Amino acid sequence: MQVLVTGASGFVGRACVVRLAMAGHSVREGVRGGERKLELERVNSGAGFAILGDLGAKPANLGNAFKDVEVVVHLAARVHDMRGAVSSEEYRRVNVCGTEVLARAAVEHGTRRFVFVSTAKVNGELTVERSFSEDDPANPMDPYALSKWEAEESLRSIAVETGLEIVIVRAPLVYGPGVRANFLRLMRLVDLGFPMALPNTNNRRSLIGVGNLADCLVRCVTHPAAANQTFMVSDGEDVSTRGLVLRLAPLLGRTARFLPVPEAVLRLAARLVGKRSAINKLLGSIEIDSSKIRRTLEWEPPITLSCGLEATARWYLESFGRLA
């Protein structure tokens, strides 16, 4: 099967391309253009690559990218930025308008299925008493999550209008070799060995390893029952923030150390400096119920949380060495 993967040079995209190839699919790697010189040389030298341009700018012709493509896995996006440096308009331009452009082009060129990687943040920021599921009403709390929700809604409308099969996959925090952003920052803090102000709140957080997410996406590409479904996905083993540090530390050759700061004191300090939302995310829970995809697609994550963290730590040490 010929599969077009957008965002193929990204963290999840690279893993997805490898898994699809291992499963015997022909993969066309879609890149924006203007990435590394080597990538562009590869794009220009073979049919396995396609320059998509800025999808939010409505590129004129995507015909070459879609030649013989049966399924699209859409990973390219304006990702969440904790600093708030990305405008709502930019999120919407790339994540909503760009997705619409790609889906319309898929319909035009006879592609039958469109797999869209969304975020668990569509459901909200925190869980209380029960896990997020596909049946929950949407509750996006920031411009990034809102743009992903609007893209989902647009795809559902296009599916009704045209018959394009859509599959929506909402993922929590993704980790694994090559990870960046918050997970990499956490590993660096653990590696520095300083005591962390992280009380034992017994919160629960769902994660998904990049290999598990890629494996799930391959199943969504091929399984007949995936058509026009929305799935929540995770590793299936939740961990507290403090527990995550305790598991990462020995893998990095460190001992986890914590300051004896009560949760109430930490929350008060965060509120005083305007970081209430950040501390809620750090100490709160976000649990994912992934039973639907396991049941419907007969899918189980092939990599355990322990193995995924071990591989991530090994990559970190090989890539960054010892920081302290």
pLDDT at position 53 over 70: yes
Give the other-Cβ count within 10 Å of 200's Cβ: 12
Residues 77-84, mean pLDDT to the nearest whole number: 73
Determine whether 144 is an active site residue: yes
What are the tens digits of pLDDT across the range 119-156? 999 999 999 889 999 999 999 999 999 999 999 999 99
β-pair type (113-119, 26-31)? unpaired
**236 contacts: CB under 8 Å, gap ≥ 6:** 290, 294, 300, 301
Q: Give the pTM.
A: 0.92
How far apart (Å, rounded) are the C-alpha atoms in residues 84 and 49?
33
Residue 87 C-beta-side C-alpha neighbours within 13 Å: 3
Catalytic option among 91, 144, 175, 316: 144
The beta strand positions in 145-274, using DSSP E, are 165-171, 173-175, 207-209, 229-232
Residues 32-48, mean pLDDT to the nearest whole number: 53
**Domains along the sequence of the chain with CATH:** 2-177+208-238 (3.40.50.720)
Higher pLDDT, 56 or 119: 119
Handedness of CA 119, 100, 37, 25 (dihedral sign): positive
What are the tens digits of pLDDT across the range 189-242? 999 988 998 888 889 999 999 999 999 999 999 999 999 999 999 999 999 999
How far apart (Å, rounded) are the C-alpha atoms in residues 148 and 91?
9
